[in-house]
Chains A and B, each alone.
Chain A
Amino acid sequence: MKILAKDKVAELLEKIAQQAEVYVPMAIEQGSGFYPWTEDNKNQPLLLDALNVYNSPKYILFPQTERMYDLKQQGQDLSIDQTHEDSSPRVIFGVRACDARALRSLDDVFLTRGFEDSFYKARRDNVTVIGNACYAPGANCFCEAMGVDLTEPEADVILRDAGNDGYIWESKTETGDKLTRAVAEFLNDKETKAPEAKSFQTQVDYDGVAEKLKGMFEHPLWEKMAEPCVNCGACTYICPSCHCFDIQVKMWGDSGYRFRCWDSCMYAEYSAEAGGGNPRPSGVERFRNRFLHKLEFFSERYGYSLCTGCGRCTIVCPAGVRITDIIKAIKEVDSSVGL
């Protein structure tokens, strides 16, 4: 098998960086995320061996603000000057299984069911994902319960941390093979073993929850569960699979541009209607939407849950909302109560 020695990682990143933008998990000041491997960033601590980073790689394929096209207005007519599809080659290095699953859900949303989002596609077609298998899930992780195999990130190459022997390098796709050939000089042949995966500290049972939720739109449970929530939206922005956006415009006189930016179903503005109404008048309806989308709607449409079990929303929630508690509560409650 192919092995990447740990002391070769920096050189390998250097080599890939000659051909593509490379994003790696690192800490910058109090935060962490997938940041570009640039001269400025190289001295920051690399977090390949940490369980995960706070900001997921979502923004690389789906930037928080993405300029779409420039436009000019002449009288009643609008003309589009330039579109900004970005197809530069990129490599995302060290993605955990939960986050790799989240990328798959973005693919399903932006590329399937009869519509291809050209901005997403331009980025996606030129991204190589290098996964990083997990063997020791953290206190808030529950990806397994959501149908994710922690040791098999859905990626082009999988790294497996074999301790002092280095990372086992396993190519999974043609794109992965291509990258493997390009970095062959840093990989050795050697036999070693990946560790056994430890068991999960957080146990939750999602089986049947999506189906059960079908009849629970009006259930009194939502009000109770939404009570601590202050609708801040932090959970949606930190979530690797939340993908709602708004399209807005900036104009100066008769020229300007359109851009899209992340949006959150936790905001009142998100569901505000042009006529002044709002079908989600209070925080409870917004809260309900988030969790129904995560646990029911998406799974009805695509066959798996939109929550990947990464645990981030629980970690950042200022009000102590825990998605695993919500799953448990739904599982246990009598779904006919109050209907």
Chain B
Amino acid sequence: MKAISDKIKSIAAGLFDSGKIDVFIGWEGGPCDYAIRPYIARSKADLERMAFNEYAIHNSSNYLLKLRDGHEKIGIVVKGCDSRGVVRLLEDNQIKRERLYIIGVCCPGMKDPLLAIKAQSGLLPQRDCDNLADKCLNCLVPNPVIFDELIGEQQPPHMQGERFAKVAAIENMSVAERFQFFEKEFSKCIRCYACRQACIACDCRTCIYDEMRPQWVGRENSNSDNMMYHLVKALHMAGRCIECGECERVCPVGIPLMLINNKLAKDADRFFGPYEAGLSYVEGQKPALSVYRENDPDDFI
């Protein structure tokens, strides 16, 4: 990791020197390894603060949203999942490819800094934090799908076992059981919207949950409003979610949001595919459910 970290810094320094970039998105080191966090360097001198280690799990592409209205040329470090986020932003016209210089890191899998800080906080309960993070244990695309320069050896997918096993278990429930399962999970939701904010596919400027006139989704912490929140988010994610797992990782109450996202990925592929969100960038390409066609095969409307 130290080697990757040094490499990133030296490439970035070169990019600043040659004027190819004005800012650089990566990670800032902290008082300990897991305290690493996303960082935007604005000059070569800022690179001093940067680091990359086994806790650099955050989806770096999310930080492009902070710069989407500017004109700076941006250098960015991406892992596999982050690179798919970049593709999504390009597809949604949120940022122009010409503004980006992408350094891809073939990702050996990350640990979750949230589990690590909890483990030493003294707050209970805690979970084992030595393993790869859940999102990485489910990762099929650890190698960046879009880059200008690549660091590290190609990695095999980290996912073991059947891809949709957990989804199949839910599909096999009766409708009533399934409803009960999700009702129980969503009843825990505190509607903090961390899952929305951490999500790179949630790039709308005005989110439907923030609309007040009319208010589409109620703000009560009740089964019906919570359910509505999650249903709407799910439908908005279909064909857009790149399965980076950030939503589930940041949820402070541990709701298994990836079950829903995996199911959406499966169905988007089955009904509108073959399709997998954000796997490659072709100019003008749109996600599966973002195209309007008059001869749409759906006759249910």
Contacts and interface: CB of A to CB of B under 8 A. Distances in A.
A associates with B: yes
8 contacts: A31-B254, A47-B124, A52-B122, A316-B114, A318-B250, A319-B37, A320-B30, A322-B35
Nearest to A139: B120
Nearest to B124: A50
A51 B121 contact: yes
Contact of B193 (A32, A52, A53, A232): A232
A283 B118 CA distance: 26
Interface in A41-69: 45, 47, 50-54, 64-65
B66 interface: yes
Given A27-B124, A318-B249, A232 B188 contact: no
A264 B192 contact: yes
Interface in B103-154: 113-114, 117-118, 120-125, 127
A230 B35 CA distance: 16
A211 interface: no
A31 B188 contact: yes
B-side interface size class: 35 or more
A283 B124 CA distance: 31
A165 B50 CA distance: 50
Interface in B178-220: 188, 190-194, 196-198, 206, 209-210, 212, 215, 218-220
A246 B219 contact: yes
Contacts of A300: none
Given A54-B123, A227-B40, A318-B246, A233 B220 contact: no
B39 interface: yes
A298 interface: no
B220 A318 contact: no
B192 A233 contact: yes
B61 to A, nearest CB: 12
A315 B220 contact: no
Contacts of A314: 117
Interface string A224-237: 00011011111011
Nearest to A30: B254
A230 B117 contact: no
Nearest to B113: A320
The 9 closest A-B pairs by CB, nearest first: A320-B37, A138-B122, A51-B122, A318-B250, A232-B197, A30-B254, A232-B194, A269-B210, A50-B124
Interface of A: 27, 29-32, 45, 47, 50-54, 64-65, 136, 138-141, 227-228, 230-234, 236-238, 246, 248, 250, 259, 261-264, 267-269, 272, 283, 311-312, 314-316, 318-322
A141 B123 CA distance: 11
A233 B196 CA distance: 10
A141 B209 CA distance: 34
B262 interface: no
A29 B254 contact: yes
Nearest to B119: A139
Contact of B194 (A269, A318, A321): A318
B261 interface: no
A54 B252 contact: yes
B224 to A, nearest CB: 10
A314 B34 CA distance: 12
A140 B117 contact: yes
Nearest to B211: A269
B101 to A, nearest CB: 19
Given A31-B253, A315-B118, A319-B58, A53 B123 contact: yes
B37 A315 contact: no
A237 B192 contact: yes
B22 to A, nearest CB: 15
Nearest to B125: A27
B199 to A, nearest CB: 9
B62 interface: yes
B36 interface: yes
B222 interface: yes
A226 B19 CA distance: 26
